[in-house]
Amino acid sequence: MSAGCCTRNSVFAPTKPTLSWKFTLPTKTLPPLRKTTKRFAVFATFISSTKPTVLVAEKLGEAGLNLLKKFANVDCSYNLSPEELCSKISLCDALIVRSGTQVSREVFESSGGRLKVVGRAGVGIDNVDLPAATEHGCLVVNAPTANTIAAAEHGIALLTAMARNIAQADASIKSGKWQRSKYVGVSLVGKTIAVMGFGKVGSEVARRAKGLGMNVIAHDPYAPADRARAIGVELMSFDEAISTADFISLHMPLTPATSKIFNDEAFSRMKKGARIVNVARGGVIDEEALLRALDSGIVAQAALDVFTEEPPAKDNKLVLHENVTVTPHLGASTAEAQEGVAIEIAEAVVGALKGELASTAVNAPMVSAEVLSELATYVALAEKLGRLAVQLVAGGSGVKSVKVTYASARGPDDIDTRLLRAMIIKGVIEPISSVFVNLVNADFIAKQRGLNMIEERITLDGSPENPLEYIQVQIANVESKFASAISDFGEIRVEGRVKDGKPHLTKVGSFGVDVSLEGSIILCRQVDQPGIIGKVGSILGDENVNVNFMSVGRIATQKQAVMTIGVDEEPSKEVLKKIGNIAAVEEFVFLKL
């Protein structure tokens, strides 16, 4: 799906080039935001009488270099120190790196505004300062697809090597020993493997595991059930998957939601003797907890390609453990994958230098100050409503469709909702995904993940001074962790408004509430009776959890009520358990913003 195109007239000058461009979508002509407001200004580059210069700071495949050389002057300077990189960058229009080069704020500042594109040859962009890139008008692109097969193959290689003790037996025989009885392995056929993360790599691993005669289950909140069924895979909740599997293969991104998700508690719910493969991100595993699980026998073996700290320390106990097979982050290390990544990133960088909008863009495009000034609080509201809605979905219910309703006193042509839609997609997808969603790639990412976005506008009577009266987000055909979030029409529904310049949650399901969307939120449904607010407040106060907002919405006096509590800190599990144990509390859920 093409996000759009840029057309411009400009001549590059070494001082201050004058640029003009317009942004259009191929499907329709965009309405103006308001007569007095400019359209969104999107990243654009110059057409120069001389070739642009691309600095390649880490080794790139020849195919990619040849592509770059057809369009630009290419400077291959490897192993630059931070000072050397800052010194060279003011002469470059684009920079290509892998994971070993830190593209810091100092790099963008040193570029003097000339640097237009940073290309990361690979998926992760932890080494690029995205806020600094956006502030300096620099687009960041990556290459997320070329190494899919290589990573899947490496996952299967580690799976089979672990099951048959290949690495340990190899080391043993090379040391002069012959220990056939010590290295008796386990068979894969007929065993159950849980693929945790059913994206590109996870689904390829699933296909290959099926070919090995394994029963494949998977966990991924966004995986379409029909795609899983087509491969012969059953989708399950996180807890169901890890407690059922004999083998667990990790393909989850590292996000705040997945950081150390495999911890002592998770290991305790696994089958005794489970085996784990990780070719995703080291940080999804609590390495000390895994070590304890290995020593206790809960986990029989582990095969790891990635680590929290890379390279790991020489005395790392997990690396040295006899029942652990390790490789030095080789997931993408095949000749074919390296060439594919080189071509993918070269095409993205050249396209960006031509002014095209790449679907692999990972930072927000430049937006006019006037637009941001008016929509800033609504942008925050949209993202937080998306985050709230998706957290209310029970595990295993795949999210297939999101409906967004905008209510406004303005005419339908007086507001462009692209940025708001992008922020709702961002809120729904980013918490458990490695992608970065913005105006450039939001629709592409939603389509790629099978997420159908439906937008509806309601025109209200009133003053058009404010762009919107409220935003409502609905997710249909899913189960909810909090039954009261289900509206009378059967879908999860959250609604919010901007009050006093701040985003507020104003409706959950059919219950009216009023709570500032700051910090995090606890939702409680309870019998409407005196003293409940005091009991919950006391529990939180006793644990030094600060309450910043509290609101109660009810159906009728002495009937059911929903209490919405805004908290500054994340309560401990013990605190949440105490709230749940209050006799009048029928259900509750904690939601991170």
Known catalytic residues? 281, 310, 329
AA identity, residue 361? A
* Sheet of strand 520-527, all strands in order from the earlier edge strand to the far edge: 547-554, 560-567, 520-527, 585-592
3-class state of residue 242 by DSSP? helix
Helix axes 166-174, 148-163, angle to 10 degrees: 60
Cα torsion angle, 188, 190, 196, 200, sign:
positive
Q: How far is CA 366 from the centre of its chain?
A: 21
Query: Is the bond leading into 311 cis (omega within 30 degrees of zero)?
Result: yes
3-class state of residue 456 by DSSP? strand
In angstroms, how far is the first alpha carbon of the chain from the final one? 30
Tally Cβ neighbours within 10 Å of residue 167.
Answer: 16
Q: What single DSSP character describes residue 304?
A: E
> Furthest-apart CA pair in the chain: how many Å?
86
Helix axes 148-163, 335-353, angle to 10 degrees: 150
Residue in the structure block whose two tokens are 């940025």: 419
Exposure of 63 by Cβ count < 10 A (0-12 exposed, 13-18 middle, 19+ buried)? middle
Is-contact 197 221, C-beta < 8 A? Answer: no
CA-to-CA distance for 380 and 504, rounded, in angstroms? 10
Is-contact 531 486, C-beta < 8 A? Answer: no
- CA-wise closest residue to 32 among 500, 410, 579: 410
Is-contact 275 248, C-beta < 8 A? Answer: yes
Q: Where are the beta strands (DSSP E) in 78-185?
A: 94-97, 117-120, 139-142
Rg (CA), the chain: 26
Is-contact 462 489, C-beta < 8 A? Answer: no
Residue in the structure block whose two tokens are 């945790």: 196
Cα torsion angle, 80, 84, 88, 90, sign:
positive
CA angle 416, 421, 424 (to 5 degrees): 150
- Please, what's the b/e burial string for 25-56 (b: 16 or more CB within 10 A of its CB; e: otherwise)? eeeeebeebbeebebbbbbbbbeeeeebbbbb
Phi-psi region of 515 (alpha: psi -120 to 50; beta: other; left: phi over 0): beta
Is-contact 390 222, C-beta < 8 A? Answer: no
CA-to-CA distance for 468 and 508, rounded, in angstroms? 19
Residue in the structure block whose two tokens are 């450039």: 440
> Residue 549 is encoded by which pair of tokens?
């907002």
